[in-house]
Structure 1
Amino acid sequence: MSEDPRMELLALDHAGALERFELANRMFFAERVGDRGDDFFEHFEDRLAERVRENDERTSLFFVVLDGEGEVLGRVNITDIDRPEATELGFRIAEDAQGRGIARQGVAAALEVAASRGVRTVKARVSAENLASHRVLQHCGFEETGPTEPPISSPTTFIGYRKDLHGSC
């Protein structure tokens, strides 16, 4: 990698790199959160267009973390920023990019953008076994709220977190 990772709002231009990222890491993510299923990939461009529209309409924040060549190292999302009771953070980092602080940096940057758009509280949920993600959330000031509903199709137990956006990571 020739330069530090950078974060950008998701755009249609990211389609190829994002699809490569999702496919290359599909099994890695499936083991941790559950598989998105074939439908996700069959309708990839439509889903991407929906996420970009949400960014444009300022109802959610979808980011990609890119390396110096424009390849996707990770994603950070804050959904439903227009619905305070439902605003939720999610993130995923490529298997080969783990352990470099990319998740922490990406989450911190996303929270700053969310706060600048008036978001006051963000929830998150993490697989009970995903210790690295727990550390990211704790480092960024999230407080554990206890067991919570897992994402659809996830066979694992999830722990909830919450953060009031009056400070940064």
Structure 2
Amino acid sequence: MTEPTGGLRLELLSLRHRRALEVFERVNREFFARHIGDRGDDFFTRFDVHLAERVAENTSGRSLLCVVTDASGEIVARVNLLDIDQPEQTELGYRVAERAQGRGIATWGVTCALDLAVGRGVRRVHAKVATTNPASRRVLEHCGFALVGPTDPPAGSPKSFLGCRRDL
């Protein structure tokens, strides 16, 4: 979809990403669990069903679920905009592989996904950031999000979170 220097691409999640996505999620499971929360064993047991459901969300226009791939085609990040069919209630989520941290991939991916969202009529995006994750907070700040205060954590996360918002 979009290609900057370095060979990164933002692509809508599709069934062809199945193998690369499972590798991305399994290799980074512990890392993601430390920073966000664990998806749980059921996520991997039902991986194909979960992927098909997410692809259907893209196809129906309900969400914009994306992967960021590098020059070799490996998935290095995910950027998800949920509920784009509710232009004031869209929610952003993203995760970057441990080995790809600190290279601006999250900021680039979020910026590209927000550009796509504007084209789909989204007017406001909400996000959550763990209070223990200053790098993710910086990504949101660089992407124009403002802190709005404490918020409920994502399902399964024991961490404290702050809510953020950006009007597009």
Pair in the same fold by TM > 0.5: yes
Q: Report matched runs for 1:20-59 at 5 Å.
A: 20-59=23-62
Residue 3 of structure 1, CA deviation:
4.3
Q: Would you say the 8 A contact 2:6–2:71 is kept in 1? A: yes
Residue 100 of structure 1, CA deviation:
0.4
Task: Tell me the distance in 2 between the aligned counterparts of 1:57 and 1:34.
Answer: 28
Which deviations, in whole Å up to 9, do the C-alpha atoms of 1:134-154 show, x marking residues without a partner? 001001100000100001110
Number of the residue aligned with 1:7: 10
Query: Partner letter of residue 40 of structure 2?
Result: G
Does residue 149 of the first structure (1) align with residue 152 of the second (2)?
yes
Q: Report matched runs for 1:10-159 at 5 Å.
A: 10-159=13-162
Q: Which runs of 4+ in 1 moved over 4 A?
A: none
Which deviations, in whole Å up to 9, do the C-alpha atoms of 1:8-36 show, x marking residues without a partner? 00000000000000000000000111111
% identical equivalent positions: 58
Task: Tell me the distance in 2 between the aligned counterparts of 1:68 and 1:54.
Answer: 27
TM-score (norm 2): 0.95
Q: Secondary structure at the match of 1:105?
A: helix
Structure 1: runs of 5 or more not aligned: none
Q: Secondary structure at the match of 2:141?
A: helix
Task: Tell me the distance in 2 between the aligned counterparts of 1:3 and 1:69.
Answer: 11
Q: Secondary structure at the match of 2:65?
A: strand
Residue 68 of structure 1, CA deviation:
1.3
Task: Tell me the distance in 2 between the aligned counterparts of 1:4 and 1:24.
Answer: 22
TM-score (norm 1): 0.95
